[in-house]
């Protein structure tokens, strides 16, 4: 009797940690900083309460290599990842990301098809916009990528992101390609146009924080930057402005690791995390737009906030949506590889 009870206790002790996690907990991964803190307040904590699950958090600015390792070893420390939609799709094709069970994600019906792949749903929006120093350009700032490329009419130091995503699109827009004719991308044309501006680029930035700092400190006079980063330094009083005109709308998506042992719980989490209410609440803490466009319809976002959000109808009309489909195709991989040679040569 005592022996049996001892055994039971031991089994409970050994099994408790793992078993509890397996049933009602997930590890969620995003990109850290104030962006992830905003999600914790608006989405992660409320969803954890609503579903009665525990949500552990981790951060990785570039989750790809880590997901690859976890897939290769078959040991998942992560379950749900918030990362660029094209990486979710790339991972899906390579067997690193699990296909989503859309029957268990009713909230996904709010999303247009362009925001979904078999492996991912849109989670939040951001935009790569043309930002500039208002002290430098005053009443006549650059308003299009053609202006950005016009170094005679708009002298000054410039920065672009050290990444072809959205930068290639900006080059094509500067070259006169209409926003609805960007895809499939003409890489030769884009790189020809990029070669023109290359000598005038002071910095190729690699992180959103760096881009914001370059502009706020006056190190560059105009640059491509993420709108939420620009509006954040704007609020701190930095002399910076930006235009939605020809902005390149992008979104990150939620996807689930294929080796995750908690796929059912992870799927419930994904559904809840793209719900209208929590998605609308996200805009109370950041200038990222909701991945669920119906979040704009429930009256939960104050009209004053709309000006700074990238994917309201008014703001989105002036921008182009970056194609997840094209960037996760072999042509997208090709663009990434040619970029390295372009920047380095």
Partner 1 sequence: MAASRKPPLRAEALLAASLLTPALLLVAVLLLVPLLWLVWQSVRQDGGFTLAHYARLVTDPAYGATFLQTFRISAIVTLACVVLGFPVAWAAAESGPTLRALILALVVLPLWTSVLVRAYAWIIVLQRTGLVNSGLEALGLIHRPVILVNNEFGTIVATTHILMPFVVLPLYTTIRTIPREVLAAAASLGGTPAFVFTRVYLPLSLPGLLSGAALVCVLSLGFYITPELLGGGRTYTVSMLIARNIALYDEWGAASSVSVALLACIFLIFFLAGRIVPIDRIVGTR
Residues in the site for partner 1, rule: CB under 8 A?
62, 64-65, 68, 90, 94, 157, 162, 202-206, 210, 213, 217-219, 333, 336-337, 340-341, 343-345
Query: What's the rounded Cα separation, in Å, for the pair 224 and 170?
Result: 9
When the beta carbons of 68 and 284 are compared against partner 1, the nearer one is: 68
Say which DSSP state 329 is in: S
Q: What token pair was written down for 18?
A: 């793992």
Q: Which of 123, 99, 103, 104 is nearest to 257 (CA)?
A: 99
When the beta carbons of 317 and 344 are compared against partner 1, the nearer one is: 344
How far apart are CB 259 and partner 1 at their closest, in Å? 17
Q: Which of 212, 309, 291 is nearest to 252 (CA)?
A: 291
When the beta carbons of 203 and 306 are compared against partner 1, the nearer one is: 203
Q: Which of 66, 82, 79, 67 is nearest to 121 (CA)?
A: 82
Query: What's the rounded Cα separation, in Å, for the pair 35 and 341?
Result: 32
When the beta carbons of 14 and 336 are compared against partner 1, the nearer one is: 336
Our CA angle for 204, 209, 214, nearest 5°, is: 55
Query: What's the rounded Cα separation, in Å, for the pair 165 and 114?
Result: 17
Indicate the pairing of strand 25-30 with strand 54-59.
parallel
How far apart are CB 128 and partner 1 at their closest, in Å? 16
Query: What's the rounded Cα separation, in Å, for the pair 87 and 63?
Result: 9
When the beta carbons of 91 and 293 are compared against partner 1, the nearer one is: 91
How far apart are CB 248 and partner 1 at their closest, in Å? 19
Our CA angle for 133, 291, 83, nearest 5°, is: 80
Q: What token pair was written down for 64?
A: 């790809």
How far apart are CB 133 and partner 1 at their closest, in Å? 11
When the beta carbons of 2 and 341 are compared against partner 1, the nearer one is: 341
How far apart are CB 331 and partner 1 at their closest, in Å? 14
Q: How far is CA 204 from the centre of its chain?
A: 19
When the beta carbons of 76 and 160 are compared against partner 1, the nearer one is: 160
When the beta carbons of 83 and 272 are compared against partner 1, the nearer one is: 83
Say which DSSP state 23 is in: H
How far apart are CB 117 and partner 1 at their closest, in Å? 18
How far apart are CB 83 and partner 1 at their closest, in Å? 12
When the beta carbons of 5 and 345 are compared against partner 1, the nearer one is: 345
Contact 322, 260 (CB under 8 A): no
How far apart are CB 225 and partner 1 at their closest, in Å? 14
How far apart are CB 203 and partner 1 at their closest, in Å? 4
Contact 71, 258 (CB under 8 A): yes
Contact 81, 255 (CB under 8 A): yes
Q: Report the first-to-last Cα separation within the chain, whole angstroms.
A: 76
């Amino acid at each position: 009797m005592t022996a049996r009870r001892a055994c039971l206790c031991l089994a409970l002790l050994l099994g408790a940690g793992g078993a509890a996690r397996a049933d009602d907990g997930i590890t969620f991964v995003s990109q850290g900083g104030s962006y992830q803190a905003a999600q914790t307040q608006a989405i992660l904590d409320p969803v954890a309460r609503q579903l009665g699950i525990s949500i552990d958090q981790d951060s990785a600015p570039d989750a790809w290599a880590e997901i690859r390792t976890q897939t290769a070893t078959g040991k998942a420390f992560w379950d749900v990842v918030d990362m660029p939609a094209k990486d979710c799709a790339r991972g899906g094709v390579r067997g690193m990301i699990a296909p989503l069970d859309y029957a268990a994600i009713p909230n996904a019906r709010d999303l247009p098809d362009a925001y979904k792949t078999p492996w991912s749903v849109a989670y939040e929006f951001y935009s790569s916009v043309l930002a500039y120093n208002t002290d430098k350009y005053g009443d006549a700032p650059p308003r299009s990528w053609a202006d950005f490329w016009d170094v005679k009419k708009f002298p000054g130091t410039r920065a672009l992101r050290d990444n072809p995503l959205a930068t290639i699109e900006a080059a094509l827009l500067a070259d006169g390609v209409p926003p609805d004719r960007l895809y499939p991308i003409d890489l030769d044309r884009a790189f020809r146009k990029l070669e023109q501006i290359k000598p005038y680029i002071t910095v190729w930035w690699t992180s959103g924080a760096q881009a914001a700092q370059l502009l706020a400190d006056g190190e560059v006079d105009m640059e491509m930057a993420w709108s939420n980063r620009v509006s954040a330094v704007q609020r701190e009083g930095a002399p910076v402005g930006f235009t939605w005109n020809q902005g390149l709308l992008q979104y990150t998506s939620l996807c689930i690791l294929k080796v995750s042992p908690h796929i059912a719980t992870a799927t419930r989490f994904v559904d809840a995390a793209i719900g209208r209410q929590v998605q609308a609440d996200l805009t109370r803490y950041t200038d990222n737009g909701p991945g669920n466009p119906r979040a704009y319809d429930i009256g939960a976002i104050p009209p004053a906030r709309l000006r700074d959000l990238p994917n309201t109808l008014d703001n989105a009309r002036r921008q182009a949506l970056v194609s997840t489909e094209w960037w996760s195709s072999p042509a997208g991989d090709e663009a990434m590889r040619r970029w390295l040679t372009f920047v380095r040569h």
